[in-house]
Amino acid sequence: MNKKLFLQTFGCQMNERDSEAVTGLLLGRGYESVASAEEADLVLYNTCSVRDHAEQKVFGRMGHFRKLKEKNPRVVIGIVGCMAQEHGHTFFKKNPDIDLVCGPGNLNQIPDLAEEIRETRLPRLATDRLSEEYSLEGIPHRSDKTKALVTIMTGCDHRCTYCIVPFVRGSERSRLSGNILTEMRNLAARGFKDVMLLGQNVNSYGKGLEEKIDFAGLLEKIQTAAPEIPRLRFITSHPKDAHARLFGAMKDLPMVCAHLHLPVQSGSDRILKRMKREHTAAWFIGQVEEYRSLVPQGSLTTDLIVGFPGETEKDFLETLALVERVEFDSAFIFQYSPRPGTPALKLADDVSQGEKDRRHQILLAAQRAISLKKNQALIGRTAEVLFESRSKKDAARYVGRTREFKRVVAFSQTPCVGEFHSVRIVGAADETLLGERVP
């Protein structure tokens, strides 16, 4: 009888991709996936440390572990991913029902570790391979047959003071381009239509490899190796490493979509310096202008933090001014929360919660107004939309994305998930376009 696996993922797309890879390894060892932890012989939670909210979700699940053990004393329960790397052996002290704590650099060991635990009934800690080369190769298990995530590198050599990623993901490590190209050819042969390349900082791709290659060069190789894939995207880019060669590749390579996610975090040079972002607001604006000159139809999204330690009203207004000047298509706006082990933890968290809330709401309102204006400008145009799902609110409507990563909802008399269709934009909100399929 096959052993049963339940794996729940928290956090970013990198975690989603890691979970697909781990699932693929375990299916290859005779496991089958099940829909609930109660059915499983191996229960894994792939965790995120970037924000406290994501960690609290995992801690909330831990109260359920005792019931799982009572139902099946031989079930193996594992905390894996970034929280495992951050907290390590303290998880065993927090909850004696946890059997496995496995960091991102050791995920390829999970099948063997699970068997060892099952045989010895002893807990295992595996967080020692963070500095080694990328090892999570193999055939991932993808439930989506239209879109795919492909990791090209992991870790980050930047040391932004608020960010825990370098401590839980390690330094930058790039996958061999040959392995990436093999995966891309496989996706092309299987008919995938939208591929997202992943890395904490994709623009640093190639560092440390014997092969002389940068991220733009990798995009060129993918275009040659798997031109049948209609759409290629990537995330995330650090502004310091985004440059004209990348923007030129976005302009010249047919498969690369015209969407750039470029986190700025703040519009205040003083706060950017405290964050150790390695650039100024003016430099960021210059990069945006260069991108828009080469990819004029391209969309631009960003991340912003309000309430960073020491942020004054003047600093906040400079961020607001940058948002109004750049006019991002959309933005993820977060309130600063201290993360253990980060340099910013040593700074006084001196912006009150009430002030964080106020600044958050002001920035959200400003960005929503900009997003609405930019989306309304698209009314009357026709766009190519790849439909990804049926609307949860209306079964007759389908949800998809344009090449510029704009979300579109459109009525369809026939199922169209996984299909490209021309859509005329007839309405707009700040986050969504309303469309009609063009016959």
User: Which tens digits make up the pLDDT trace of 72-86?
Assistant: 999 999 999 999 999
- Please give the domain boundaries of the chain with CATH numbers for all domains: 3-126 (3.40.50.12160), 144-257 (3.30.750.210), 290-377 (3.30.750.200), 382-437 (2.40.50.140)
* Alpha-carbon gap, residue 43 to 28, rounded angstroms: 17
pLDDT above 80 for 129:
no
Each residue of 424-436: pLDDT tens digit?
999 999 999 999 9
Which pLDDT score, from 0 to 100, does residue 135 have? 66
**If you average pLDDT over every residue of the chain, what do you get?**
95
Residues in contact with 104: Cβ distance below 8 Å, sequence separation at least 6, in sequence order = 18, 81, 82, 84, 85, 130, 154, 168, 169, 170
Query: What confidence category does residue 136 fall into, taking pLDDT thresholds of 50, 70 and 90?
Result: confident
Which pLDDT score, from 0 to 100, does residue 252 have? 98
What are the structure tokens assigned to 335, written together? 């309130």
Region class of 191: left (phi > 0), else alpha (psi between -120 and 50), else beta: left
Which three-class secondary structure state does DSSP give residue 21? helix
* Alpha-carbon gap, residue 215 to 218, rounded angstroms: 5
- Asked if 274 and 161 touch (Cβ cutoff 8 Å), the reply is yes
Residues in contact with 146: Cβ distance below 8 Å, sequence separation at least 6, in sequence order = 192, 193, 194, 386, 388, 417, 418
Neighbours of 59 (CB within 10 A): 12
Percent of the chain with pLDDT over 70: 98
pLDDT above 80 for 152:
yes
* Alpha-carbon gap, residue 43 to 38, rounded angstroms: 9
Each residue of 261-288: pLDDT tens digit?
999 999 999 999 999 999 999 999 999 9
Please indicate, yes or no, whether the overall pTM of this predicted structure exceeds 0.85. yes
Residues in contact with 200: Cβ distance below 8 Å, sequence separation at least 6, in sequence order = 14, 153, 154, 155, 156, 165, 169, 172, 236
Each residue of 308-320: pLDDT tens digit?
999 999 999 999 9
Please compute Rg for the chain using Cα positions: 22
Neighbours of 6 (CB within 10 A): 20
β-pairing verdict for 3-9 and 42-47: parallel
Give the mean model confidence (pLDDT) for residues 221-243.
96
